[in-house]
Chain A
Amino acid sequence: AQSVAQPEDQVNVAEGNPLTVKCTYSVSGNPYLFWYVQYPNRGLQFLLKYITGDNLVKGSYGFEAEFNKSQTSFHLKKPSALVSDSALYFCAVRGPAMNTGFQKLVFGTGTRLLVSP
């Protein structure tokens, strides 16, 4: 079964420092991977996705993610963190096709990022 793991419940980083939020995946076949961000009392917002091609994917708000097939990882990164980046981050993988052909997203448990001034 498709799954993702986010090993850190929380990541703390100082403003201006680089940040990494970790995600590993387990899939059969080629992975379709996603990152979403959730700000307080808001819905999830799409950040970026990996379908195929370049292993370094660039997304919204200066975030990028590196797909590593050998390590089955898809870590989210940003060169210089902002206090406004503080939020809950979810990694997700496309799940297997269901009866109707629908393919859901399977989410990790989320990582809270806290950026201190």
Chain B
Amino acid sequence: NAGVTQTPKFQVLKTGQSMTLQCAQDMNHEYMSWYRQDPGMGLRLIHYSVGAGITDQGEVPNGYNVSRSTTEDFPLRLLSAAPSQTSVYFCASSYDLGAGGYTFGSGTRLTVV
């Protein structure tokens, strides 16, 4: 039972480059989210999805795109990387809209230079 799998674990980008962070879950969860974790700020929601084909913005969506073509996959795209996007990114999935907890991936540590 793999849970939520994120790749890559580490990435260094130059300013202006683009890349895609991958997230896959094998639990058949409808709800998936992307958060970023910054020191002293907890986790902040970037984008989320309530099912295949349905995505919406979270608190800090600027500079990021998402799509959800299948239940399993929820990639996060950085369009033109900026140093402010240096962070640790977590993908999470959940089975219950409100009451359930999330299952998190192990994270991607991104540095933009």
Contact = CB atoms under 8 A, between A and B. Distances in A.
B58 A104 contact: yes
Nearest to A95: B45
Chain B binding site: helix, strand, loop or mixed by DSSP? Answer: strand
B99 A34 contact: no
Given A43-B4, A43-B90, A110-B42, 17 more contacts: A41-B107, A42-B107, A43-B104, A44-B102, A44-B104, A51-B99, A94-B98, A98-B48, A99-B56, A101-B50, A101-B97, A102-B31, A102-B56, A103-B97, A104-B33, A108-B42, A109-B42
Contact of A102 (B43, B48, B106): B48
Interface of B: 4, 6, 31, 33, 35, 40-45, 48, 50, 54, 56, 58, 90, 92, 97-99, 101-107
Contacts of B42: 90, 107-110
